[in-house]
Chain A
Amino acid sequence: MASTLSEWKSKPVTVLTCDGRLITGILAGYDQLQNLILKRCVEKVYSLDSPVEEVELGLFVVRGDNVAVIAECEEKADGEEEGEEDIRAEPIHEIQGNR
């Protein structure tokens, strides 16, 4: 019944942070507090005016306090990236009321 992240160990995941950023990387490690270690992670920056911008981040430790959602995602296949570039979106709001 426990809700754990063990299913996604070493799998690519997308993390929505509390400040509205989307970071995709391989879940190398985690703990009970949702502190995460993401390998080869990339931030995807969406905007209304320009195509998706990808910022390479490398190896990151994300503190669990700042994690909102962790989602399983498929590994990027070269053929699928073309569809991604067209996504135009407003930024996601930050989490309100988390002191």
Chain B
Amino acid sequence: MLFFSFFKTLVGKEVAVELKNDVVLTGTLHSVDQYLNIKLTSVRVVNQERYPQLTALKNCFVRGSVVRYVQINPHDVDTELLQDATRKANSPIAVGGGKGGE
């Protein structure tokens, strides 16, 4: 849920999504869901000469399971806040609940 919340803060920002087949799509993050499926608007394929078949893409839905990286502008992220939230989410207190009863 942490990354879902994180991506929600980036809606409206420009991101580059690199897929596991090496295709990179840049565009505006329109929406994200709990599976980290991403919808992008104003899409442009990076490296258009390699992928002329994808020139006509304007708005697309990217399945979360095929994403390798999401590249974000550092100015759009508060890295310290993100690190804090990650630490809390992975702390012994948060994780402890699932480990009882052995």
CB within 8 Å of B: which residues of A?
1-5, 8, 14, 16, 18, 20, 22, 34, 44, 46, 64, 67-74, 87-90, 92-98
Cβ A95 vs Cβ B56 within 8 A = no
Count, chain B residues at interface, CB 8 A: 31
When the two chains form their complex, are residues A2 and B63 in contact, meaning their CB atoms are under 8 A apart? no
**Residue contact A96 to B20, C-beta cutoff 8 Å:** yes
Tell me, yes or no, whether B33 is within 8 Å of chain A by CB. Answer: yes
Sorted nearest first, the 8 A-B pairs with minimum C-beta distance are: A71-B60, A3-B33, A93-B21, A3-B31, A70-B61, A68-B66, A95-B20, A3-B39
Q: Is the interface of B mostly helix, strand, loop or mixed?
A: mixed
Give the chain B neighbours of A73 by CB distance below 8 A: 56-58
Query: Does B50 belong to the interface (CB within 8 Å)?
Result: yes
| A72 and B60 within 8 A (CB) | yes
A5: chain B residues within 8 A (beta carbon): 61
**B53 & A22 in contact (Cβ 8 Å cutoff):** yes
Q: How far is the CB of A18 from chain B (nearest CB, A)?
A: 7
Contact status A88-B52, CB under 8 Å: yes
Cα-based distance from A88 to B51 in the complex (angstroms): 9
Q: Which residues does chain A contribute within 8 Å of B58, judged by CB atoms? A: 71-73
Q: Which of A71, A96, A97 contacts B43 (CB 8 A)?
A: A71
Please indicate which of the listed interface residues B25, B37, B60 has the most CB atoms of chain A within 10 Å of its own CB. Answer: B60
Indicate which residue in B11, B57, B63 contacts A68 across the interface (CB closer than 8 Å). Answer: B63
